[in-house]
Amino acid sequence: MPAPLSVPGVLLIFIIIFHVEALKPHLLGRHSVRTLRSVRSSSQQRDLFYKTFYFDQQIDHFGFLENGTFKQRYLVNDQHWHKAQGPILFYTGNEGDITWFCNNTGFMWDIAEELGAMLVFAEHRYYGESLPFGNESYSYLNYLTSEQALADFAVLITSLKKTLPRAQNSPVIAIGGSYGGMLAAWLRMKYPNVVIGALASSAPIWQFTDLVPYGDFYKIVTQDFANSGVNCSKNIRRSWTAINNLFSTAEGLQWLSKEFGLCSLLKEEDLYNFKGWLQETWVNLAMVDYPYEANFLQHLPRWPVKVVCKHLQFDTDVPDKQLLYGISQAVRVYYNYTGSAVCLNVSETATRSLGIMGWYYQSCTEMVMPMCTDGVQDMFEPMAWNFQAYSDECYALFGVRPREDWVDTVYGGKNIRSHSNIIFSNGDLDPWRSGGVNESLSDSLIAILIPEGAHHLDLRFNNEYDPQSVLLTRELEVMYFKKWIKQNTSS
Ligand SMILES: *[C@@H]1O[C@H](CO)[C@@H](O)[C@H](O)[C@H]1NC(C)=O
Ligand SMILES: *[C@@H]1O[C@H](CO)[C@@H](O)[C@H](O)[C@H]1NC(C)=O
Ligand SMILES: *[C@@H]1O[C@H](CO)[C@@H](O)[C@H](O)[C@H]1NC(C)=O
Ligand SMILES: *[C@@H]1O[C@H](CO)[C@@H](O)[C@H](O)[C@H]1NC(C)=O
Ligand SMILES: *[C@@H]1O[C@H](CO)[C@@H](O)[C@H](O)[C@H]1NC(C)=O
Ligand SMILES: *[C@@H]1O[C@H](CO)[C@@H](O)[C@H](O)[C@H]1NC(C)=O
Ligand SMILES: *[C@@H]1O[C@H](CO)[C@@H](O)[C@H](O)[C@H]1NC(C)=O
């Protein structure tokens, strides 16, 4: 794994704000039965039945000299599909193994029966098994772009509708979370002839050059920790200096390695990596601060940030070692909740189902998401946004330089009002809401804010610990789906 980018390569992941709370009476009145019935008592992974298919996909949709094809993987479940009229819910796969996203998008499974829907989960090129050049794909990265991925989805959907018996008139709704949510929204914008609408959950389509304040992302992470325990964010803010201090002696390095249960002994030159690892750990925790025990990036307890903060509720002037002992216990909540970690590996922060290398490349080309920290309004070491340094690292890694303005140009930046039928949902706890569409832009470009929501909580299975706000959000989303379907099947 490469050294993190200047701004650590965090993972992925909306115009009148839709105050979900205000809709409560209305929704409960009409849908209370479903809301109550659909709450499941188990957070266990359910058995999901799907068939796996491979589609011959063009390697290059936008030029004609490269005429090769590759096998794009997609998963299908049609057990509830009402042929000839039932919709197709189409998950626009993001940067990883599609079976993992399939397993973690319970919302689609929960609503399939009610909508009589077919479920399709399509893998993003260059991830999972959908490798354009087999095991050498990462030597030929030129065709890894969001535009190619969107074209894959559009071509696949068009083909499915042509070839599946009686699917010609099935309206298709795109659904995705995080980068997959960005793709769902963009698919609707670029191919409105192919999908009738999109649900873009926790999709930071505005986390790009000059669109939103660059400091908000890490501020939100900090707020989550500040709100989850006394002195929690303050002690994390202090930890960076304490780490610098311990890194200055051999004894300190040894103590740290042992205290954190690391797989290998820290060396002086690991300072940047070690701090980057911790920073990414806090970010990931904020992203997956779900109200119940879950296994997304890691296996975690319910409200993991609260659990982490229990280890950091002490005076803000304790000595370095006492402070870092607390940090080491806090970090274990993330890496060793199950008790099965033999040692902690500072080169790993999340599930291997994600394609880190591919995402780095995308970040180094189109997906330039500026962020910065100041150490005052956030709990991290100050780091300005430095596009030149970022670009230089990309060049060193991949021999390419990012184009920081391209996404604004190709996907419209903030000027997207002419589009329609897109729901942008975001959770208050999710740092990625910093780049999300936070106000509804029109009657059919709807923003929903979920007060107790972390990263795309609304896309997960119903759970007995779900806050009312996410249940209402899902109701609202289904309501819009039905409206779009009706609009598109009545004629
Ligand atoms: C693809 O390109 C090769 C090399 O130019 C050519 O031989 C082949 O006929 C082309 N195949 C198709 C399907 O166009
Ligand atoms: C998805 O869930 C199935 C069981 O339902 C499991 O066999 C599979 O390993 C899971 N895939 C991933 C990538 O977690
Ligand atoms: C790549 O795949 C080919 C054929 O599938 C195989 O012969 C080759 O050894 C593989 N290379 C690597 C580096 O795994
Ligand atoms: C949405 O976010 C922008 C900053 O990105 C902010 O200026 C604006 O006030 C926010 N709107 C609402 C309703 O929170
Ligand atoms: C938080 O830190 C302050 C200042 O050091 C201290 O007075 C207070 O007791 C701490 N709170 C807890 C719960 O440890
Ligand atoms: C993980 O937890 C288990 C059980 O408490 C413990 O034996 C093990 O040492 C822990 N691993 C690390 C790296 O702390
Ligand atoms: C740590 O993680 C890296 C990257 O996944 C891996 O290459 C390495 O083998 C791991 N080290 C240990 C001791 O597990």
Distance separating alpha carbons of residues 276 and 265, to the nearest angstrom: 17
Report whether residue 135 contacts ligand 3, using a CB cutoff of 6 Å.
yes
Q: Which residue has the tokens 């500040």?
A: 226
Distances 35 to 38, 470, 488 between C-alpha atoms, Å: 6, 11, 26
Residue 55: what are its φ and ψ, rounded to 5°? -110, 135
Return the number of other C-beta atoms located less than 10 Å from residue 293's C-beta.
16
Choice among 152, 378, 430, 466 that is catalytic = 430
Separation in Å, CA 102 to CA 26, 36, 98, 171, 357: 31, 24, 6, 20, 21
Structural domains present in the chain: 51-206+414-489 (3.40.50.1820), 215-403 (1.20.120.980)
Place of tokens 């609009």: 487
CA distance 294 to 301: 7
Distance 366 CA to ligand 6 centre (A): 40
Q: Ligand 2 pocket test: which of 103, 129, 298, 460 has the largest number of ligand atoms within 8 Å of its C-beta?
A: 103
The C-alpha atoms of residue 260 and residue 49 are separated, in whole angstroms, by 40
**358 CA to middle of ligand 4, Å?**
31
**Known active-site residue 455:** yes
Contact 297, 287 (CB under 8 A): yes
Sheet holding 51-58, edge to edge: 17-19, 445-450, 422-427, 197-201, 172-177, 88-92, 118-122, 69-77, 51-58
- The answer to whether 469 touches 427, Cβ cutoff 8 Å, is no
Which residue from 225, 236, 314 has its CB within 8 A of the most atoms of ligand 5, so it is best to mutate?
314
Answer for the pair 465, 98: CB distance below 8 angstroms, yes or no.
no
Q: How far is the CA of 67 from the centre of ligand 1 (A)?
A: 6
CA of 212, closest atom in ligand 4: 5
Structure tokens at 5: 């980018």
Query: Can you give the pLDDT at residue 352?
Result: 77
User: DSSP 3-state assignment of 232?
Assistant: helix
Is the confidence at residue 20, as pLDDT, over 70? no
Rounded to the nearest integer, the mean pLDDT of the chain is 90
Measured from the alpha carbon of residue 96, the closest ligand is 2
pLDDT surpassing 70 at residue 15: no
pLDDT at 81: 96
Cα Dmax for the chain: 76
Q: Encoding tokens for residue 91?
A: 């998950």
- The tens digit of pLDDT for each residue in 42-83 reads 344 578 999 999 999 999 999 999 999 999 999 999 999 997
CA of 61 to the centre of ligand 1 (A): 15
Instruction: Tell which atom from ligand 4 comes closest to the C-alpha of 216.
Output: 5
Read off the pLDDT of each residue in 254-266 and give the average, rounded to a whole number: 97
Residue 428: CB within 6 Å of ligand 4? no
**Ligand that comes closest to the CA of residue 68:** 1
Is residue 334 pLDDT above 90, yes or no?
yes
pLDDT of residue 490: 63
Cα distance between residue 112 and residue 97, in whole Å: 22
23/16 Cα distance (integer angstroms): 14
- CA contacts within 13 A on the Cβ side of 262: 21
- Tell me the C-alpha distance between 154 and 462, whole Å: 29
Predicted local confidence at residue 166, as pLDDT: 86
CA-CA distance, 229 to 314, in Å (whole number)? 10
Q: How far is CA 78 from CA 10, 71, 74, 89, in A?
A: 35, 21, 13, 10
- Extract the tokens encoding 416: 């997207």
Residue of 178, 201, 233, 353 with catalytic role: 178
Report the separation in Å between the CA atom of 426 and the middle of ligand 6, taken as the mean of its atom positions: 35
What SS3 state is found at 272?
Answer: helix
Residue 344 near ligand 6, beta carbon < 6 Å: yes
Q: Which of 311, 419, 455, 456 is catalytic?
A: 455
Q: Whose CA is nearest to atom 3 of ligand 5?
A: 315
- 6, 428 in Cβ contact below 8 A? no
Does ligand 5 lie within 6 Å of residue 233's CB atom? no
The ligand with the least distance to the CA atom of 101 is: 2
CA distance 109 to 86: 15
The closest-lying atom of ligand 6 relative to the alpha carbon of residue 339 is 2
- Check if the beta carbon of residue 425 is closer than 8 Å to that of residue 431: no
Ligand number with the minimum distance to the CA of 357: 7
- Class of residue 127 by CB neighbours under 10 A (exposed 0-12, middle 13-18, buried 19+): buried
Using pLDDT thresholds of 50, 70 and 90, give the confidence band for residue 33: very low
Q: Which atom of ligand 3 lies nearest, measured to the CA of 136?
A: 1
| pLDDT over 90 (residue 150) | yes
Q: Is the CB of 23 under 6 A from ligand 4?
A: no
* pLDDT grade for 137, boundaries at 50, 70 and 90: very high
Distance from Cα 237 to the centre of ligand 4, integer Å: 26
User: Percent of the chain having pLDDT more than 90?
Assistant: 86
What are the tens digits of pLDDT across the range 387-424? 999 999 999 999 999 999 999 999 999 999 999 999 99
What is the chain's length?
491
Ligand 6 pocket, 337 CB below 6 A? no
**Residue 316 beta carbon below 6 angstroms from any ligand 5 atom:** yes
Residues 346-356 pLDDT 10s: 988 877 778 88
Q: What does R_g of the chain's alpha carbons equal in angstroms?
A: 22
Q: Is 184 exposed, middle or buried (0-12, 13-18, 19+ CB in 10 A)?
A: buried
pLDDT, tens digit, for every residue of 171-222? 999 999 999 999 999 999 999 999 999 999 999 999 999 999 999 999 999 9
**What is the structure's pLDDT at 29?**
30
Q: What pLDDT is recorded for position 391?
A: 96
| Ranges of H-type helices in 336-412 | 356-363, 387-398, 406-411
Measured by CA distance, the residue closest to atom 13 of ligand 3 is 135
Torsion angle (degrees, nearest 10) of CA 442, 444, 447, 450: 150
Helix (H, G, I), strand (E, B) or coil at 379: coil
For residue 345, the CA-to-ligand 7 centroid distance in Å is 6
Q: 275: Cβ–Cβ under 8 A, 6 or more apart, which residues? A: 240, 243, 381
Ligand nearest to the CA of 229: 5
CA 104 to ligand 2 centroid distance, Å:
9
With 0-12 CB in 10 A as exposed, 13-18 as middle and 19+ as buried, what is 9? buried
Q: Please indicate whether residue 322, judged by its CB atom, sits closer than 6 Å to ligand 5.
A: no
